[in-house]
Amino acid sequence: MNYQFLDSPIGRLRLVSNGTHLVKITFEGQGDAAAGDLESSDPVLASTASQLNEYFRGERDSFDLPLAPQGTPFQQAVWDALADIPYGELRSYRDIAETIGNTAAVRAVGAANGRNPLPIVVPCHRVIGSDGSLTGFAGGLPAKTLLLQLEGAILV
């Protein structure tokens, strides 16, 4: 695995690729490097850093990257539903459960959302509680708030 760091408005991000696909984005203090990981750039990491910088500058509202998140079939279904949430829009965990055709799985959707290995690119930050409250985010609620403000989904 290859990785590089990206300083962003929501903190330092660690971008991880397998050389051909983006496999993980972690926030500072999460998921330290594993044995065999190399701090180096490859075309996937360079493209990811470039597209994330454009996003943070307000110049990009979607990503065009080769992705390979690792998860169960259920998690993959949730992450696919997350990827379909348009820029600047919000969905509840219940909305996602309905999208994947399993209305009884609201809590499981929340768990899968929390295990999203590609935050920002697969926009788990666009998911809120059914009551409209901002709920957990791996990067912290201040980072989630900043991302949603950047997208115009919530007011300052």
Active site residues: 124
154 token code pair: 């919530």
From CA 60, how far away is CA 79, in angstroms rounded? 20
DSSP bridge pairs for 14:
5, 26
C-alpha dist (Å) from residue 120 to 28, 147, 151: 14, 8, 11
Q: Is residue 82 a contact partner of residue 93, using CB atoms and an 8 Å limit?
A: no
